[in-house]
Structure 1
Amino acid sequence: MAREFKMPDVGEGLTEAEILKWYVQPGDSVEDGQVVCEVETAKAAVELPIPYDGVVKALLFPEGTTVDVGQVIISVDVAGDAPEPAAPAAEPEAETEGEAEAPQGRQPVLVGYGVAESSTKRRARKGAESESVPATNGTATLTRPLAKPPVRKLAKDLGVDLAAVIPSGSDGIITREDVHAAVAPAPEVPAQAPAPTAAPATAPASYDSVRETRIPIKGVRKATAQAMVNSKFTAPHVTEFVTIDVTRTMKLVEELKGDKDMAGLRVNPLLLISKALLVAIKRNPEVNSAWDEANQEIVQKHYVNLGIAAATPRGLIVPNIKDAQAKTLPELASALGELVSTAREGKTSPAAMQGGTVTITNVGVFGVDTGTPILNPGESAILAVGAIKLQPWVHKGKVKPRQVTTLALSFDHRLVDGELGSKVLADVAAILERPKRLITWA
């Protein structure tokens, strides 16, 4: 019998993914747990394993296609009349007595094992406006228009009530075009409808493929761009700078490379800068907070998920080290090495990029002196580290060549005032100038 494998929800609330590469072809035999394809979401590239044995019957989408979560992507012939996976079997229960799941829908699943039908199946729509879902007490009916998060954000920005928008997408999903159409007066829509399609018709004629290269904005790069725009225009950014002598820190790096406790680990300035920031946060815990707009609260975190900005072929990502404040120096070095290696291989999981609290971006590796970094959405601070260069510096009353760098700390001024931000940056600087304070202040 043939079984259909659907695009699973491989992250938190992700609605689509692009098929980057197929590892199998029709006629190939597959085993339970075998990776059949690699997909890219707005978070990262993820490999998908098949959940049963059989022979590939058909690949439903070619490489480079963006597929919605829940769509069938591969069909497999399975020997015998084995029952369907347990997840779809739960469907009748979800439909019993007209009860359906909450509008937010999709349940977390194991990567590669699909989404339970009961969590994605939609009830028949009443009219063409929204999805009807009975309230939990059975006495009222709630409506929730079907739209992806970016479309909901667009509607909010334009002041459009999604409940009044007529959907044109498949399964009654409201598209960006539907939202834009709802903004303009109804009589003008037919007259202006051809305009958006006319522009692309002239673009190819003026496009010189020799002189220009056009790259589709999608996946990680698209998500990063949107996140940066939202962060920049939501959180009021303030950036402070300090230039410091890190000669002693560079000497300590060399000493640690020969330490038996650090054997086999990657020891570099970023390790000590990370540790210095963690110590500064411990001394100034208010900086490790988040702004909860919905509840009008400041949420102070008692843990530090330290984000490290990493440039990858697919764009900038910021995976984080969970509970970094609790790690010893060797443990921190091991976690940093694993984080960087995984990012470079393009294997960072969506979970590794969730829940960050504070971030470090090392622009110095590109020879840049400093910058004004933009906050990772939901975080309170980000530290930019510039290039470490040999420069003339006044040391003990004399001008000498010293290893010097510039640090830049951007912070959310709703959460962090100038005094607190200055204290954090000053503490990081003091530790890196005299790294023995890593021990005395830790």
Structure 2
Amino acid sequence: MSATMIKEFRLPDLGEGLTESEILSWKVSVGDTVTLNQVIAEVETAKAVVELPSPFAGTVAALHEQAGSVVEVGKPIVSFEVDDDGTAPSAAGPGEATSTASPAEAVAKREPNLVGYGAVVEKSGRPARRQRSVDGGAPEREVVREPVSAVEPAPVVEQPAVPNEPVVEQDRPRSTPPVRKLARDLGIDLALVRGTGPAGLITRSDVQDFAAWSQAQVSVPGVAPASAPAVGVSAERETRTPIKGVRKFTAAAMVQSAFTAPHVTEFLTVDVTPTMELLTRLKASREFAGYKLTPLTIAAKAVLIALRRNPTLNSRWDDGAQEIVQFNYVNLGIAAATPRGLTVPNIKDADKMTLLDLSTALSALTDTARSGKTSPADLTGGTISITNIGVFGIDAGTPILNPGEAAIVALGSVRKAPWVHNDELAVRQVMSLSLSFDHRLVDGEQGSKFLADLGAILSDPATVMTMI
């Protein structure tokens, strides 16, 4: 039998400089055999929910963190027991001897490697490239141990089987995102709930039992609750949600943007009746059959066309290099409201897409964002953004720039309103456009010309013939 060893897998940086991630769920358990690239966990970063693949083929020896834990990048999260050839260990038969490979022999064979999980180890015993240290310490090391017949899992702390009696926790309550959402929906403070899951994890049934218990306490007149809630906390009157994940990242980015880039916002209300008529014709055409076309699709294309004539809005202020970076491509960001908070995924090279391609990309972007599966790569590298506040019935606003971008367009709702058309008062479909831009990069004249071009396209799509 070949020698076995224990491999520790540390949480990698799943984005650009992210420092922590929350383990939403484990897809494996201790003792499970896994293959290379098999999904072992689902983690939530400040930007996206990411499926974490296994960097090894082997057996899960230990899970160092529970679901619901927030883990710093570089901390061990799971250990694997693997053969020295990178495969799962096989059990030794009666009378078979086991041996342990030396560290030199352990690295003599090429290890399986995933992008972002460290350097590939060459047969020379030295890594092909220098490994990045964790927290300024020594590089990640390989631990070689004697083969063991069984690996003891982390101890489980037994909890009292009294699900409906509140308890005041001193530390942050441990639970999973779906359970926290259920608690918010029911107006329950998780600090009052006793967890009966592994190591005190609060489960869905714990929340439901506590809700039923709370209802029973208030439904009997003249009977006081068996246990008072924590001082200053009322499960019925307020809900506290930790600031983390997407909301924490968005808040920091918006504060930085608002107090770094000098914002200017301009407004323009236009008659978009011709655009809405064009949209109706396109939906009925054979070419767009089965495709999702919305006012956002047309507006996004109009933004891309107007940007060709006003490229200064597609730029970035590089403070460190003291340079203005002019982008010769457009990664179009679309602000998306998701259950996890506001995200701004972007469509790469949107300026090279046809209207049909743009429609497909927008649909895919929206579906992925709503499901929380947007990858970190799709959340970075944007050059200009659109926020469609019209879907909420809002006419206009003053959007804050996405960090690193020079402009953002807010699309208001399309409303029927009295409008002067052909020198006569008529009921037309109108939309308000809001443009915020970084005044360090964009002058008032440049911003105004861009907004005027955008309004001209939406009020008369045939105007495009004079612009391209």
Give the whole-Å Cα distance in 1 for the aligned partners of 2:51 and 2:379: 16
Match of 2:432 in 1: 406
Cα distance change of structure 1 residues 266 and 440 upon mapping to structure 2, 3 Å threshold: farther
Give CA-to-partner distance per residue, 1:283-338, whole Å, 9 cap, x none. Answer: 11122111111222211111111100001111101111111111111111111111
Q: 1:255 to 1:114 in 2, by over 3 A?
A: farther
Q: Deviations over 1:110-149 (max 9, x none)?
A: 26x4678821256669xxxxxxxxxxxxxxxxxxxxxxxx
Q: 1:110 aligned to 2:136?
A: no
Distance 1:439 1:77 in 2: 65
1:360 deviates by 0.2
Say if 1:10 and 1:109, in contact at 8 Å, map to a contact too. no
- SS of the aligned residue for 1:261 comes to coil
The residue identity in structure 2 corresponding to 1:408 is S
| Other structure's SS at 2:132 match | helix
Correspondence for 1:81 among 69, 80, 84: 84
Amino acid at match of 1:17: S
Contact 1:8 1:114 in 2 (8 A): no
Partner of 2:26: 22
Equivalent-residue separation in structure 2 for 1:115 and 1:7 (angstroms): 15
Greater fraction helix: 1
- Counterparts of 1:10-89 in structure 2, within 5 Å, are 10-78=14-82, 80-82=83-85
Deviation for aligned residue 1:62: 0.8
Tell me what 2:123 maps to. none
Structure 1 residue identity aligned to 2:304: L
Alignment partner, residue 119 of structure 1: 132
Q: Which has the larger radius of gyration?
A: 2
Q: CA shift at 1:373, angstroms?
A: 0.2
Match of 1:284 among 305, 310, 325: 310
Tell me if the contact between 1:9 and 1:115 (Cα under 8 Å) persists in the aligned partners: no
Alignment of 1:43-442 (within 5 A): 43-78=47-82, 80-82=83-85, 110=115, 113=117, 118-121=131-134, 204-442=230-468
| Secondary structure of 2:366's aligned partner | helix
Instruction: Output the CA distance in 2 between the equivalents of 1:375 and 1:109.
Output: 35
Paired letter, 2:238: E
AA in 1 matched with 2:85 = A
Give the match's secondary structure for 2:372. coil
Question: 2:241, 2:135 → 1: CA distance?
Answer: 35
Secondary structure, in 3 states, of the residue corresponding to 1:205?
coil
Taking only aligned residues, the RMSD between alpha carbons, in angstroms, comes to 2.6
Distance in 2 (CA, whole Å) between partners of 1:223 and 1:436 is 41
Deviation at 1:399, TM superposition (A): 1.7
- Residue 74 of structure 2 contacts residue 134 of structure 2 at CA under 8 Å; is this kept in 1? no
Asked if the contact 1:7–1:114 (Cα under 8 Å) also holds between the matched residues in 2, the reply is no
Where 1:282 maps in the other structure, the secondary structure is: helix
Cα distance in structure 2, aligned partners of 1:115 and 1:6: 14
After TM superposition, the score normalised by the length of structure 1 is: 0.73
Amino acid corresponding to residue 248 of structure 1 in structure 2? P
Query: Structure 1 residues 6 and 123, CA, compared in 2 at 3 Å: closer, same or farther?
Result: closer
Q: Distance in 2 between matches of 1:46 and 1:283?
A: 38
- The residue identity in structure 2 corresponding to 1:318 is V
Query: In the alignment, is the contact (CA less than 8 A) between 2:334 and 2:386 conserved in 1?
Result: yes
Matched residue type, 2:290? G
Give me the whole-angstrom Cα distance separating, in 2, the residues matched to 1:66 and 1:361.
Answer: 30
Residue type at the aligned position of 2:63:
L
Identical aligned residues as a percent: 56
Secondary structure at the aligned position of 1:248 is classed as helix
Question: What is the CA–CA distance in structure 2 between the aligned matches of 1:49 and 1:345, rounded to whole Å?
Answer: 19
Deviation at 1:417, TM superposition (A): 1.2
Do the aligned partners of 2:118 and 2:132 also contact (CA within 8 Å) in 1?
no
Which whole-Å CA distance do the structure 2 matches of 1:241 and 1:362 have between them? 15
Q: Which amino acid aligns with 1:118?
A: Q
Q: Tell me: CA distance 1:276–1:63, structure 2 relative to 1, closer, same or farther (3 Å).
A: same
Partners of 2:119 and 2:432 in 1: CA distance: 48
Can you list the C-alpha shifts for 1:62-91, whole angstroms capped at 9, x where unaligned? Answer: 11111112211112233x33259xxx99xx
Q: Deviations over 1:17-49 (max 9, x none)?
A: 111111222233322221111111111111001
> What amino acid is aligned across from residue 209 of structure 1 in structure 2?
A
Distance 2:286 2:56 in 1: 46
CA distance in 1 between partners of 2:46 and 2:433 (Å): 30
Structure 1 residues 220-267: Cα deviation after superposition (integer angstroms, max 9, x where no partner): 110000000000000000000011111111111111112333233211
Separation (CA, whole Å) in 1 of partners of 2:319 and 2:136: 32
Partner AA of 1:378 in structure 2:
G
Q: Is the 8 A contact 2:13 2:73 kept in 1?
A: yes
Could you tell which deviates more after superposition, 361-370 or 28-37?
28-37
Structure 2's unaligned 5+ residue stretches are 88-102, 108-112, 121-129, 139-228
> Residue type matched to 2:133 in 1?
T
CA distance in 2 between counterparts of 1:48 and 1:121 reads: 19
Aligned length: 346
C-alpha contact (below 8 Å) 1:6/1:115 kept by paired residues: no
Distance 1:439 1:329 in 2: 15
